[in-house]
């Protein structure tokens, strides 16, 4: 019943959005070029599908995103465990992290292009930067806030540092790490398009840029819609995984 209610709510919400979108097109006083209608965007998506380009663009962007996201999360968890476990180490690097964190990955684009050239590498690196800092901060917070009583019990039982890490730190930190995964995913996906501006010839970011050069606003909006849909699905999957972990760990 809950699943049915969620489906009905989602359907009603999307329907409301499409109706509002169509009404804006009709009464907004703007031409179809400046604001394509839902039907025009649907036709543009069908055009991409019929040309065999839809899957290619979606798959390429998804692949780049997953590689960049995996790099960001892996590196952030490793460093986050080190800094979260060592108060001195974190005090030394915290000002650097807080200085770099607010800088948008877009600001690094000129250097990224100089370092990596064009192709997949700069897009992956941009995505990785976007996801790294949210995951790092979540990991440091989760590790540094593991209950001191857990550590005392582990020490009393004679566990070494590696055993404490595997058997105490990581299980106790896991629920917060999952929340960090979701934050990192959102940030990385947002900057997917920015990463694909750097000399790529496939992907959703390239689709939008190419459509702009062809003055195809319907294709631009089709690319935006695809980014929103895929981002929603990814966030939805992690949200349910997070809910499962919270229940399993009794963290709710």
Per-residue pLDDT reduced to its tens digit, 17-36 = 889 988 888 887 777 778 88
Q: Are 203 and 123 in contact (CB under 8 A)?
A: yes
Cβ-count burial 120-147 (b if 16+ within 10 Å, e if not): bbbbbbbbbbbbbbbbbbbbbbbbbebe
Q: Are 230 and 62 in contact (CB under 8 A)?
A: yes
Q: Does residue 128 fall inside a structural domain?
A: yes
197 confidence band (pLDDT: 50, 70, 90): confident
Range of 240's domain? 51-249
Q: Does residue 150 fall inside a structural domain?
A: yes
Nearest 5°: the CA angle 63, 67, 71 is: 170
Residue 227 makes CB contacts below 8 A (sequence gap 6+) with 189, 192, 193, 204
Please tell me the predicted confidence (pLDDT) of residue 119: 80
101: three-class secondary structure by DSSP:
coil
> Of 89-98, 140-149, 174-183, 217-226, which gets the smallest average pLDDT?
140-149
Cβ-count burial 31-43 (b if 16+ within 10 Å, e if not): eeeeebbeebbee
Q: Span 191-219, mean pLDDT? A: 85
Q: Are 119 and 155 in contact (CB under 8 A)?
A: no
CA atoms of 9 and 15, how far apart (whole Å): 10
Q: Give the dihedral sign, CA 173/174/177/178.
A: negative
Q: Is residue 1 pLDDT above 70, yes or no?
A: no
Q: Is residue 73 pLDDT above 90, yes or no?
A: yes
Please tell me the predicted confidence (pLDDT) of residue 85: 83
Q: Note the pLDDT tens digit of each residue in 132-148.
A: 999 999 999 888 887 77
Closest C-alpha among 178, 171, 168, 194 to residue 245: 178
Q: Span 8-16, mean pLDDT? A: 86
CA atoms of 154 and 204, how far apart (whole Å): 49
Residue 206 makes CB contacts below 8 A (sequence gap 6+) with 57, 196, 200
Helix (H) or strand (E) holding 56: helix 54-85
Q: Does residue 6 fall inside a structural domain?
A: no
Phi and psi at residue 11, in whole multiples of 5°? -60, -45
Q: Note the pLDDT tens digit of each residue in 202-215.
A: 889 889 988 888 88
* Residue bearing the bigger pLDDT, 164 or 61: 61
pTM score, whole prediction: 0.86
Q: Is residue 250 pLDDT above 70, yes or no?
A: no
Q: Does residue 88 fall inside a structural domain?
A: yes
Q: Is residue 163 pLDDT above 80, yes or no?
A: no
Q: Span 151-162, mean pLDDT? A: 70
Where residue 239 sits, what CATH number does that domain have? 1.10.3720.10
CA atoms of 126 and 113, how far apart (whole Å): 10
Helices 54-85, 217-249: inter-axial angle, 10-degree rounding: 40
Q: Is residue 126 pLDDT above 80, yes or no?
A: yes
Q: Does residue 244 fall inside a structural domain?
A: yes
Please tell me the predicted confidence (pLDDT) of residue 3: 65
Q: Does residue 44 fall inside a structural domain?
A: no
225 confidence band (pLDDT: 50, 70, 90): very high
Q: Does residue 61 fall inside a structural domain?
A: yes
Structural domain total, the chain: 1
Q: Does residue 3 fall inside a structural domain?
A: no
């Amino acid at each position: 019943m809950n699943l049915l209610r969620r489906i009905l709510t989602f359907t009603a919400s999307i329907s409301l959005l499409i109706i509002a979108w169509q009404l804006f097109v009709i009464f907004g006083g703007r031409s179809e070029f400046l604001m394509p209608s839902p039907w025009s965007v649907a036709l543009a998506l069908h055009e991409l599908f019929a040309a065999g380009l839809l899957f290619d663009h979606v798959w390429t962007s998804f692949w780049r995103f997953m590689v960049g996201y995996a790099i960001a999360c892996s590196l952030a968890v490793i460093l986050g465990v080190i800094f979260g476990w060592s108060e001195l180490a974190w005090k030394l690097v915290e000002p650097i992290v807080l200085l770099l964190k607010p800088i948008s990955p877009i600001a690094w684009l000129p250097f990224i292009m100089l370092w990596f050239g064009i192709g997949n590498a700069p897009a992956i690196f941009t995505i990785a930067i976007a996801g790294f800092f949210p995951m790092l901060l979540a990991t440091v917070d989760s590790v540094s806030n593991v209950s001191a009583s857990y550590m005392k019990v582990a020490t009393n039982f004679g566990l070494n540092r590696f055993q404490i890490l595997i058997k105490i730190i990581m299980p106790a930190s896991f629920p917060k790490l999952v929340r960090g995964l979701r934050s990192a995913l959102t940030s990385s996906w947002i900057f997917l398009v920015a990463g694909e501006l750097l000399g790529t010839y496939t992907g959703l970011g390239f689709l939008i840029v190419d459509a702009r050069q062809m003055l195809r606003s319907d294709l631009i909006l089709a690319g935006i819609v695809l980014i929103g849909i895929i981002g929603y699905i990814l966030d939805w999957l992690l949200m349910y995984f997070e809910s499962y972990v919270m229940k399993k760990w009794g963290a709710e």
